[in-house]
Amino acid sequence: MKRVTGFPTRPDMVQQLLNVGFDYYNLPSSDGSHYWSDNVAYEFTLAEIDRIEDTTNELHSMCLDFAADEIKKGDYENYRFTELQKQLIETSWRNQDPYLYGRFDFGYDGDNLKMFEYNADTPTSLLEAAVVQWQWLEQIEGLKHRDQFNWIHEELIKHFQFLKQQSGKTDFHLSAMQDAGREDWVMWII
């Protein structure tokens, strides 16, 4: 993994970001910089990408196994779920309700991956990873031969098609809660 700097700021960067709904690009970071910068990117080797992908798949499977164990035990005291939440969780698990996607937060030093958290069916960073990064990659000179390692946009389309086929429904409703801030928005398929 290599941090690459020195990319130019697009003259119309702000408008480009707003055009795709990325209106929080300028949230301040702890160092005073903005949340989004056109000037920095990270470059990975194919071997690094393969390792991240393999680790992600393994951890996803482990998380599902952990959830199965927790639900089987039915001991939710540490989670502070309400009775309604407990019922919804168990019913959803029993019905094998589909999930849309998940995102891991990793620390990575080029050799080792460390999982910080797993966000499942929460849209945090989805816009940035599926749309904004790709738009940037397409618009920055000299990067046409590069690729983005994730296929989030394509996979979401395929998964919605799968959900449509599986459920027979043509309308999906998504909702979000903003009271706790952007990081804690919640997405549901109703």
pLDDT digits (tens, 9 = 90+) for 106-165: 998 878 899 999 988 777 788 898 899 999 999 988 887 788 888 888 888 998 899 899
User: Is 78 a domain residue?
Assistant: no
User: Is 184 a domain residue?
Assistant: yes
What the block records as the tokens of 112 is 């080792």
User: Is 90 a domain residue?
Assistant: no
With cut-offs at 50, 70 and 90, classify the pLDDT of residue 186: very low
Task: Please check whether residue 119 is in contact with residue 103, taking contact to mean a CB–CB distance below 8 angstroms.
Answer: yes
Inform me whether the pLDDT recorded for 168 exceeds 60.
Answer: yes
User: Is 104 a domain residue?
Assistant: yes
Name the CA radius of gyration of the chain, rounded. Answer: 19
User: Is 48 a domain residue?
Assistant: no
What pLDDT is stored for residue 148 in this prediction?
A: 85
Cross-strand pairs, 3: 42
What is the C-alpha to C-alpha distance for residues 25 and 47, in angstroms, rounded to an integer? 31
pLDDT digits (tens, 9 = 90+) for 1-30: 999 999 999 999 999 999 999 999 999 988
With cut-offs at 50, 70 and 90, classify the pLDDT of residue 188: very low
User: Is 176 a domain residue?
Assistant: yes
Residue type, 5: T
Domains: count for the chain:
1
User: Is 128 a domain residue?
Assistant: yes
pLDDT digits (tens, 9 = 90+) for 60-104: 999 999 999 999 999 888 888 899 999 999 999 999 988 888 889
Please tell me whether the overall predicted TM-score, pTM, comes out greater than 0.75 for this model.
Answer: yes
- Residue whose C-alpha is closest to residue 113's, from 54, 27, 170, 38: 54
User: Is 79 a domain residue?
Assistant: no
For the purposes of burial, counting CB atoms within 10 Å of the CB of 135, is it exposed (0-12), middle (13-18) or buried (19 or more)?
middle
Q: Give me the domain span that covers residue 174.
A: 2-43+98-189
What pLDDT is stored for residue 179 in this prediction?
A: 57
With cut-offs at 50, 70 and 90, classify the pLDDT of residue 190: very low
What is the C-alpha to C-alpha distance for residues 4 and 17, in angstroms, rounded to an integer? 21
What pLDDT is stored for residue 176 in this prediction?
A: 63
With cut-offs at 50, 70 and 90, classify the pLDDT of residue 175: low
